[in-house]
Amino acid sequence: MQIHNAMHQPASITSSLAFVIPEIILVVSICITLVLGLFLKQNKSAVLVLVTGVAMLTAICFVAWNWPHQPEPIFAGTLRTDDFAAFFRVLFLSGGLLTLFISLQKESATESVILIQAIVLGACLLAMSMHFATVLVSLELVSLSGYVLASFAFNKSSSEGSMKYFLMGSVATACLVYGVSLIYGITGTLDFSSQQFVDTLIQSQSGLILIAAFFILAAVLFKITAVPFHLWAPDVYQSAPTPVVAFLSVVPKLAGLALFIKIVLAFNLFGQATLDWRVVIAGISILSIVIGNLSALAQTNPKRMLAYSSIAQAGFLLAGVATLDLAGIHATMFYAVVFLLMNLLAFTALHFFEKWKALPTMAHFAGLGRVAFIPASALVIALVALTGLPPTAGFTAKLLVFSSLWSAWADSDLTVLLILFIVGLLNTVIALYFYLKIPYYLFLKETPPGTASIKISFTGNLLVIILVIAIIWLFLNPGLLMGWINRITFVL
Amino acid sequence: MPYLSLLIFIPVITALVALLIPARYTRVFPWLTIGVNIIQVILFVLMLFNFHADGGLQLVEKHAWISLSLNNWGQLQAEYLVAVDGLSFPLVGLSVVIMLIATISSWHILKSRKGYFALLLILNGAIIGSFCALDFLLFYVFFEFMLLPMFFLIGIWGGPKREYASIKFFLYTLLGSIFILIVMIALYLSVQSPENSNEVVHTFNVLHMQNLENFIPGSWLDAASSGSWRLWAFALLFIGFAIKLPAVPFHTWLPDAHVEAPTAISVVLAALLLKIGGYGILRFVYPVFPDGAVYFSDWVAGIGVVSIIYGALNALASKDLKRLIAYSSVSHMGFVLLGIASATTEGIAGAVYQMVSHGIISAMLFLIAGVLYDRTHDRIIENYSGLASQMKHYTAFVLIAFFASLGLPGFSGFIGEVLIFFGAFQSQSLNNLVPMWMPIVATLGLLLGAAYYLWTIQRMFFGPFAVRANFAELNDLTTREYAMLLPLAIMALLFGILPQILLDYINPFAESFPSMWFSLGINANP
């Protein structure tokens, strides 16, 4: 086994360390946070956020500085640095950084800062994983930290959500382990990028491979909250603290996406697999979009609605992958960046209102748009972007994804891709109906008498304004990001 | 001078500036808006000197906007491409005038003025942008950009059922624009720019889409190989714009939106937003898919005729004055479809003329309804009688507007409808697109139009004076109301008596339009 061999190659390990400096920075920062937390008083959380923020920023700079143009296997092939992984590492680190700023407005416990960093660390390792053992370890790092983080509201419903998340997550992990063990039995390797893996799978073509692949992908789809592995999301989203939900809806999900792309490409065997994976992914994508949107229609709790919306968004993220070609994956990566921005913006703006008054239903938003104009407008822009209307990057992202779908359909004549194309676009209208509920209450309903105006901190406004500008800027000038994404060629 | 960009972006930038002004300076916002409107009128007058009626597309501004690599599928290219021709130039002029009148009409709005005028300015820029954009993506962006301001304008400042109406409006229009988006994606991936020969560049340029030679051989919408897909694309794109027009049976959002919207927004909706539907059919649907236009011609004409009759019948049955005017809009936009379907020079010229004329007249009609509503807060027709004895000047303008709208000779409505009938009657012998019985049935619409207007005049304005609504004082027109109605009345008369001043601009476009079929070698005589 390769891991065993790696233990005897200390030189390879030390030389590999240079490639994971961002992750090492995170580990060091976690340790520092842990120690600082012991000595700092509870209300000094700003110091913690500052320290970890600087650490994450440095890590981003390191990834950007040492942008890997050629794929480089490290740690005896269990991880690999390539531009695909680097892209997602930057994304996860930025997601973590932005989340820290959201929680900056609130007294955040030391533990939550540590857990956020741990999830980012796990996500970064996941993006680099080329080996099922590292996949398992990093996925568990993400999951276990997530379970704890979800219970951070310290009330009954939050514990319940966390428990559901944990139980279902454990089943998902069990599925993953079971699938991986089958794969090891068939191929004799856990390295899914290796020639041995591809060769044995092409030769054997047994039904067992499909079972194994479905088990593994089920665990990954659980992280992406794709239908039918989405049932935990609404409860967790509704009960967990909003900054935590903002984070959980973005980083673990996109980490799952990065992993999904890699594994599905591995099982696709460069198009030589017996099963046409495009059909499977397109099916999951259609299900997620339709079920996510239809369920969201009935919701009255804003966070629960956003949970279903994020299930539908998972469908859109998978739609680009369903093409299984580079252009579709590039479109998905663009969508991933935009999704990160708009989802964080939606939850950040929501968090403003929640700090000020409880919002169990959307009717509680009545008239608040006139009291707090900037966060309310930001929320509207985030929802318009999630719907996919111009002038936001949400539109550009959907345009790119659906363009890639159309092209893939025109090339392959695979009807399911056309169905996905049409269903996805028509769902925008359904989506608008529930996304519009919040702006509807914010601006169209009268302000209830006696509503005091909200005092909004400058940093809070600054964060939403930065996110809004980013979303509009990416619409006006998508070439900037897309040009960068287009240079990414090493996925598997 | 980049006239079109200035027209589009001055209001948008002013809206952003307005957002920075504290809301307590309530007097600033209407003045700021009207300042922008006046600048736009001045710019348009300057454009009149630079625009040559028979010069085709002019005042072109072209800048690179988005250029992305799609890997194995080539390059995506969208441009900032704006220009005007005989179709869009009159509509841009109409927009400038109507937006000025809408601002004057909004003067007495007191509720959150800052938001109202900022949204009105954004709407202004988006409407003019839609009429000028010749890049499909750019057009789509402007087209969608109108929805959100409109949603808030109806939803916040509208009548009692405003929330329902605004959401219905938004959902319907979005459904239409999703149809347009589907076709847009299919189209740009099937078209390549002739400007680059060494690489496949998928362009959104509508002018390239109108040329069948630019379709990539073997692509889904290539005329040589696509089979029925082009017809599907035509149908989807047509429905997308027909919702906006609105044509029966896609019209149900319109009466609700109109009844609930504040007066100024009704004016903008009827006079400008509906025109984008007609404009879209003339600019995108027909030129890009002439084969679909031939195939579906009797459907298009049929929908037009049904809209004319059904709209008129509904207007006849309406109890609410604003609802009556809204249905009369459906009826009048049906004429536009009939003219377009005939695809003759007269029919196309008539359709464009009818759009401009309806823009002027429907604006007047909604202002008239607004005048009454401001005084009594009641629009039910049967609650009034004998208004002529109390409001003489008002009644005069009502008569002008109603007679102009029912197509009395001497008013602009007459010219548009006559040209459309010329085209539609000619069509059977000329290109066999519209069967003879359709315009014959459509004349019934003229009769019904006369019926509901005259009946309304008789009920509301003649007889003994009585008003069954609470009101303080039933004054005649104020100076502000004069300032809005008089220019529109003059325009309706001017374009009715001297149609040539407008037709000179429209004709070159209308003449080039039918020749499209022959230049593409598609036989229009089945």
Mean of pLDDT over chain A: 88
**Would you say residue A245 lies in a domain?**
no
Average the pLDDT over A400-410 and give the result: 92
Of residues B190, B196, B198, the one with CA closest to residue B217: B190
The shortest CB-CB distance from B167 to any of A400, A436, A477 is to: A436
Q: What separation in angstroms does the CA of B394 have from each of A58, A150, B323, B357?
A: 72, 67, 20, 21
Cβ A406–B148 below 8 Å, yes or no?
Answer: no
Residue A60 belongs to a domain: no
pLDDT of residue B525: 41
Query: What is the separation, in whole angstroms, between the first and last Cα of chain B?
Result: 48
Strand stretches in B182-291, DSSP E? 201-203
Confidence class of residue A420 from pLDDT cuts 50, 70 and 90?
Answer: very high
Task: Indicate the range of A371-375, A417-421, B93-97, B229-233 predicted with least confidence.
Answer: A371-375
Residue A206 DSSP code:
-
* Ramachandran bin of B52, using left for φ above 0, alpha for ψ from -120 to 50, beta for the remaining angles: beta
Enumerate residues 461 to 480 of chain B having a beta carbon within 8 A of any beta carbon in chain A. none
Q: What percent of chain B has pLDDT over 70?
A: 97
A425 neighbors A288 (Cβ within 8 angstroms): no
Asked if the Cβ–Cβ distance from A443 to B69 is below 8 Å, we say: no
Closest CA to B225 of B193, B256, B190: B190
The reply to whether A432 touches chain B by the CB within 8 Å rule is yes
Q: Where are the domains of chain B?
A: 1-252, 296-526
**Which of B198 and A399 is assigned the larger pLDDT?**
A399
> Residue A273, by phi and psi: left (phi above 0), alpha (psi -120 to 50) or beta?
beta
Task: Identify whether A228 is preceded by a cis peptide bond (ω within 30 of 0).
Answer: yes
pLDDT at A371: 81
C-alpha B429/C-alpha B518 separation (Å) is 16
CA-atom Rg of chain A in angstroms: 22
Name residue, tokens 């276990």: A144
Q: How far is CA A70 from the centre of its chain?
A: 25
Residue A457 has pLDDT above 80, yes or no: no
Rg (CA), chain B: 23
A425 at interface of B, judged by CB pairs closer than 8 A: yes
A125: pLDDT strictly greater than 70: yes
Model ipTM?
Answer: 0.91
The pLDDT value given to residue A8: 53
- A163 in any annotated domain: no
Assess if residue A468 is contained within a domain. yes
A491 pLDDT higher than 70: no
Sequence-distant (≥ 6) Cβ neighbours of residue A172 within 8 angstroms:
A143, A218, A219, A222, A223, A229
pLDDT of A37 higher than 50: yes
> Is residue A219 assigned to a domain?
no
Eight-class DSSP state of A80: E
Question: How far are the Cα atoms of A52, A132, A174, B302 from residue A139, in angstroms, in the given order?
Answer: 22, 10, 12, 61
Among chain B residues, the shortest Cα distance to A437 is held by B167
Q: A155: which 2 tokens?
A: 């009330």
| pLDDT at B526 (0 to 100) | 36
The residues that bridge with A419 in the sheet, in sequence order, are none
Give B102-135 pLDDT, tens digit per residue. 999 999 888 888 999 999 999 999 999 999 999 9
Hey, is the C-beta of B145 within 8 angstroms of any chain A C-beta? yes
Return d(Cα A81, Cα A95) in angstroms, integer. Answer: 20
Q: Does the beta carbon of A434 lie under 8 angstroms from any beta carbon of chain B?
A: no
Select, from the ranges A366-375, B153-162, B320-329, B422-431, the one with the highest average predicted confidence (pLDDT): B320-329
- What is residue A102's predicted lDDT score, i.e. its pLDDT? 80
Range from A253-262, B325-334, B431-440 carrying the lowest mean pLDDT: B431-440
- Reading the block at residue B484, the tokens are 């809005």
Give the model confidence (pLDDT) of A61-104 as tens digits: 999 888 888 888 888 888 998 999 999 999 999 999 998 888 76
* B82 in Cβ contact with B61 (< 8 Å): yes
Mutate to test the interface with B, among A380, A436, A461, A480 (most CBs of B within 10 A): A436
Q: How far, in Å, CA of B317 to CA of B325, rounded?
A: 12
Which pLDDT value is given to residue B69? 80
Contact state of A443 with B170 under an 8 Å Cβ cutoff: no
The total number of structural domains in chain A stands at: 1
Question: Which residues, in sequence order, are CB contacts of B17 under 8 Å at separation 6+?
Answer: B32
CB atoms within 10 A of CB A32: 14
- Residue B220: which of A402, A410, A444 has the nearest Cβ? A410
Contacts of B68 in chain A (CB under 8 A): 400, 478-479, 482-483, 486
Residue B338 has pLDDT above 90, yes or no: yes
Give the residue carrying structure tokens 């509208």.
Answer: B158
Average of pLDDT values for B30-59? 92
Q: Could you tell me if residue A3 is inside a domain?
A: no
Instruction: Give the integer Cα–Cα distance in Å for B229 and B237.
Output: 12
For residue B103, give both structure tokens: 């601002």
Closest chain A residue by Cα to residue B229: A410
Mean pLDDT of B43-71: 88
CA atoms within 13 A of residue A384's CA, in its CB half-sphere: 25
Q: Does B73 touch chain A (CB under 8 A)?
A: yes
B412-440 pLDDT, tens digit each: 999 999 999 999 998 888 888 889 999 99
In a domain? residue A287: yes
Q: What is the domain extent for residue A330?
A: 279-492
Phi, psi angle pair for B58, to nearest 5°: -135, 175
Max Cα-Cα span within chain A: 73
To the nearest whole Å, the CA of B410 is away from the closest chain A CA by 43
CA atoms of A77 and B71, how far apart (whole Å): 29
Q: What is the pLDDT of residues B173-184, one digit of tens each?
A: 999 999 999 999
- Rounded to the nearest angstrom, the minimum Cα separation between A346 and chain B is 18
